[in-house]
């Protein structure tokens, strides 16, 4: 009798492991996402996904360090918050692991906002400037500032730049590296801050007031739906990818976010 019980428990554990995700329900998909715009877009897509027989459970996450770890440890079935350079940095990190980008959904142009300045030309000498502290977005911010002539970077570093790659800083800007979610709060303490589109959206910043912004066209920083390699052909993942790529979702992004977020 004990042998049969042990065998039954082992079979149950094996069946749960075979589900390979954040849920034992074969029709439910657990997706971690930034609150805005990612979770909002998933909520919009939820009804269409349910018509395809997939229940969507959305876990909102504000810390960029969490979603990939949670996906890797199978707390999530997928996540939706990041661009490919960010994903690559995670995969190459000491505790990183291979994940699978499925489909690009949106672009959040990085932009510079200020509570006091009206033009990037008005930046004073010695100004305090806040930038994202994660490597991929810090590089984007520095490349954006270099494009405006505020700094110069080592040849060839492009958007992989770090502060140590700044070779010229004629206005003696003082850089403050912050977690991306904290950047909108820094506006009262800085001349301007380079802010990720999703956090600018959460802070209700007007993209038309930005001192400087990345271009949307040919932007390499599209945000992807990402899963684990073993789930890339899962019917639930495929269904969500199809819905997120639909014209209805593209129209929703265009109409809802007024340029802060663009469809990929």
Q: Of 171, 195, 213, which one is at a domain's C-terminal end?
A: 213
Percent with pLDDT over 70 in the chain: 91
Query: 200: domain range?
Result: 111-213
* Cα angle, residue 38 at apex, residues 37 and 42 outer, rounded to 5°: 115
C-alpha 115/C-alpha 190 separation (Å) is: 8
User: CA separation (Å) from 30 to 64, 194, 227?
Assistant: 17, 31, 11
Based on the fold, state whether residues 31 and 84 are members of the same structural domain.
yes
For position 226, which CATH number holds? 3.40.190.10
DSSP three-state, residue 235: helix
Confidence of residue 243 (pLDDT cuts 50, 70, 90): very high
In the chain, what's the furthest Cα-to-Cα distance?
A: 81
Kindly report the pTM of this predicted structure: 0.78
Q: Among residues 84, 44, 83, 76, which one has the least CA distance to residue 60? A: 76
Q: Are residues 13 and 91 in the same domain?
A: yes
**Do 156 and 248 have their domain in common?**
no
Q: What is the pLDDT of residue 257?
A: 92
Residues 105 and 119 grouped into a single domain: no
Is the torsion defined by CA of 149, 153, 157, 160 positive or negative?
A: negative
- 201 and 133, same structural domain? yes
Residues in CB range of 61: below 8 A, 6 or more apart:
32, 33, 34, 67, 70, 79, 81
pLDDT digits (tens, 9 = 90+) for 131-170: 999 988 999 999 999 999 999 999 999 888 999 999 999 9
Measured CA to CA, the distance from residue 85 to residue 186 in angstroms comes to 25
Distance CA 102, CA 233 (A): 10
Tell me, yes or no, whether 201 and 225 share the same domain.
no
Whether residues 89 and 127 fall in one domain: no
The domain boundary, picked from 213, 229, 249, lies at 213
Q: Are residues 95 and 156 located together in one domain of the fold?
A: no
pLDDT by residue (tens digit) across 16-67?
343 444 655 789 999 999 999 999 999 999 999 999 999 999 999 999 999 9
Strands of the chain (E only): list them. Answer: 28-33, 55-60, 78-83, 100-107, 111-113, 128-132, 152-153, 166-168, 174-178, 192-195, 212-213, 222-227, 262-263
The separation between CA 13 and the C-alpha centre of its own chain, rounded to angstroms, equals 33
C-alpha–C-alpha distance, residues 80 and 71, integer Å: 11
Q: Measure the CA–CA gap between 25 and 57, rounded to whole angstroms.
A: 11
**Are both 16 and 49 inside the same structural domain?**
yes
> What's the structural domain count of the chain?
2
pLDDT score of 22: 61
Task: Please indicate, yes or no, whether residues 77 and 139 belong to a single structural domain of this protein.
Answer: no
The helix/strand/coil state of 234 is coil
Q: Which two structure tokens, joined as six digits, stand for 166?
A: 């700044």
Same domain, 11 and 29: yes
Give the model confidence (pLDDT) of 63-79 as tens digits.
Answer: 999 999 999 999 999 99
Give yes or no: residues 66 and 132 share one domain. Answer: no
């Amino acid at each position: 009798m004990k042998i049969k019980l042990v065998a039954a428990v082992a079979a149950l554990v094996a069946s749960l492991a075979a589900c390979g995700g954040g849920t034992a329900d074969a029709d439910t998909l657990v997706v971690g996402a930034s609150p805005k715009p990612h979770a909002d877009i998933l909520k919009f897509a939820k009804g269409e996904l349910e018509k395809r027989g997939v229940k969507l459970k959305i876990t909102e996450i504000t810390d960029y360090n969490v979603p990939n770890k949670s996906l890797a440890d199978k707390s999530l079935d997928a996540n939706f918050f990041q661009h490919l350079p960010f994903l690559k940095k995670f995969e190459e990190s000491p505790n990183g692991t291979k994940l699978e980008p499925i489909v690009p959904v949106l672009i959040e142009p990085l932009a510079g906002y200020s509570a006091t300045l009206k033009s990037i030309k008005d930046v004073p000498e010695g100004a305090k400037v806040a930038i994202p502290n994660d490597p991929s977005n810090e590089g984007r911010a520095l490349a954006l500032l270099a494009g405006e002539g505020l700094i110069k970077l080592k040849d060839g570093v492009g958007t992989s730049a770090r502060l140590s790659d700044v070779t010229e800083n004629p206005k003696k800007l003082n850089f403050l590296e912050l977690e991306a979610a904290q950047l909108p709060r820094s506006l009262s303490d800085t001349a301007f801050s380079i802010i990720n589109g999703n956090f600018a959206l959460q802070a209700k910043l007007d993209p038309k007031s930005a001192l400087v912004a990345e271009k949307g066209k040919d932007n390499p920083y599209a945000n992807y739906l990402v899963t684990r390699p073993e789930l890339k052909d899962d019917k639930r993942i495929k269904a969500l990818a199809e819905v997120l790529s639909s014209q209805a979702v593209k129209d929703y992004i265009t109409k809802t976010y007024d340029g802060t977020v663009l469809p990929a």
